[in-house]
């Protein structure tokens, strides 16, 4: 566990927040980032606001699980809620980018598809007994960071293309890892 995330989780917990609250905060930041792409698409500060919101979303996303483990508040529902809201968050952010025409629709669709397949490959492989945590070069934190930086430097199309490519590579890495770790049935 990252010491900074643990410190942050402890302080949020002292405020009375629970892991599912943090999950919802992460989701709200992603929703706000998507809305910022749509509502301020032409404003010069769109990149800064989207960058901050995406980074906050990633921070909260990293914190909810840490908090749950620190305080023995892990639950199947919490893990499920986190996973579902993470996917909805990704859909909303890419929708915002495409809707506002900040990225070409085909690029946005490729990145969204790749991002969802990265998550699906992990979920399905782990259901079949292959551990996938840390497998691949573009897990959600890396994709969020790329998108945040791309927003900040006003290179969203290039950033989303990079996410699409790295997501495809990550899916292939996970397929290879699953094949090497699964016992033939």
Backbone angles phi, psi at 74, to 5 degrees: -70, 140
User: Is 86 an active-site residue?
Assistant: yes
d(CA 91, CA 32): 13
Residues in the chain: 185
- Choose the catalytic residue: 61, 82, 86, 104: 86
In angstroms, what CA-CA distances link 62 with 9, 55, 95, 179? Answer: 9, 11, 23, 28
Structure tokens at 124: 């399905």
Residues belonging to the active site = 86
């Amino acid at each position: 566990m990252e010491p900074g995330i643990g410190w942050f989780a402890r302080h949020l917990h002292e405020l009375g927040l629970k892991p599912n609250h943090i999950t919802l905060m992460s989701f709200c930041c992603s929703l706000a980032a998507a809305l910022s792409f749509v509502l301020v698409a032409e404003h010069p500060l769109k990149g800064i606001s989207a960058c901050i919101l995406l980074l906050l979303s990633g921070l909260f996303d990293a914190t909810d699980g840490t908090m749950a483990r620190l305080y023995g508040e892990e639950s199947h529902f919490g893990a499920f809620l986190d996973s579902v809201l993470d996917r909805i968050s990704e859909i909303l952010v890419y929708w915002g980018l495409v809707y506002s025409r900040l990225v070409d629709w085909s690029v946005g669709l490729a990145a969204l598809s790749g991002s969802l397949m990265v998550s699906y490959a992990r979920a399905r492989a782990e259901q079949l007994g292959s551990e996938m945590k840390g497998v691949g070069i573009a897990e959600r934190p890396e994709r969020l960071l790329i998108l945040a930086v791309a927003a900040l430097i006003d290179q969203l199309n290039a950033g989303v293309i990079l996410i699409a490519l790295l997501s495809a590579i990550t899916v292939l890495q996970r397929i290879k890892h699953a094949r090497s770790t699964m016992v033939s049935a």
